[in-house]
Amino acid sequence: MEQNINIVIADDHDMVRQGLEAIIKTVPEFTVVATANNGQGAFDKVVEHQPDVVLLDIVMPNVNGIQAACKIKREYPHIHVLMLSMEISSEYIKTAFQNDIDGYIPKNADVDILIEAITTVAKGEKYYDQKVKDYIFKYYVGEESLAVPKIDNLSEREVQVLKLISNGIPNKEIADKLFISPKTVEAHRNNILKKLHLKSTADLVKFSIAKNITDIPKSMIMSE
């Protein structure tokens, strides 16, 4: 690890919050800049500290973690959100994935998994627990998946960009690979969304998997 990663932790249980903080402080590159005990408090700390990563419990009073995560991603899309939950709920997973939440792991995950998840999402990549991946596969590729548009009206360059986006590669890296600017990558992404009548990165991933555009095996869904 090279970059210092600033983190906000939100959990309504004091022992859990303090335990997470103690674990995170064992990693020299991690810094806990603030903690909160509910979703609104988490959002307020994000506004104040502009962290790299937010760890959010899902079940919290007043504003829950999912609501806070969606608000953070909507107003601060550059801030990475990692959801922590005692249960793997299909409803929560679907909402998180559709709103481009960066990661989702169970609270009882090993310490190494937690550290890996934080490091991964901080780099702009996705990190989902295997059970979460299995659900995403079922919902977006299996029996519950929806029909997707045709690819015929995309240019060759747009297909290249779509493939790289669906592999979880950040815009800057895509730009480097294709020898174009990050702004051009974003322009291609917007054109792809418009042409395919899609709304989000999650929709692009679903489309790519259904059309076998991505290099990633269907069992993986997202690169880590």
154 pairs with which residues across the strands? none
Q: Map tokens 């899309």 to a residue.
A: 77
**Is the model's pLDDT at 221 over the cut of 50?**
no
> How confident is residue 121, by pLDDT bands cut at 50, 70 and 90?
very high
Q: How far are the Cα atoms of 6, 14, 130 from residue 73, in angstroms, in the given order?
A: 17, 25, 23
% of the chain surpassing 90 pLDDT: 38
**Is the model's pLDDT at 60 over the cut of 80?**
yes
Q: Write the pLDDT tens digit of every residue in 191-210.
A: 999 888 888 888 888 788 77
Its CATH architecture, for the domain 5-140, is 3-Layer(aba) Sandwich (3.40)
Q: Write the pLDDT tens digit of every residue in 76-108.
A: 989 999 999 876 667 777 777 777 788 888 888
Q: Give me the half-sphere count of Cα atoms (radius 13 Å) on the Cβ side of residue 78.
A: 6
Environment class of residue 209 by beta-carbon count within 10 Å: exposed (0-12), middle (13-18) or buried (19+)? buried
pLDDT of residue 199: 85
CATH 1.10.10.10 range(s) for the chain read 146-224
> How confident is residue 137, by pLDDT bands cut at 50, 70 and 90?
low
- pTM of the full structure: 0.62
**Is the model's pLDDT at 2 over the cut of 80?**
no
CATH 3.40.50.2300 range(s) for the chain read 5-140
pLDDT, the chain, mean:
83
More confident residue, 148 or 212: 212
Environment class of residue 219 by beta-carbon count within 10 Å: exposed (0-12), middle (13-18) or buried (19+)? exposed
The type of residue at 180 is I
Ranked by mean pLDDT, which of 131-140, 141-150, 192-201 comes out on top?
192-201
Question: What average pLDDT score do residues 170-175 get?
Answer: 89
Question: CATH fold of 146-224, please?
Answer: Arc Repressor Mutant, subunit A (1.10.10)
pLDDT of residue 223: 37
Q: How far are the Cα atoms of 163, 171, 206, 207, 214 from residue 211, in angstroms, in the given order?
A: 11, 22, 9, 6, 8
- CA 112 and chain centroid, separation: 19
pLDDT of residue 66: 85
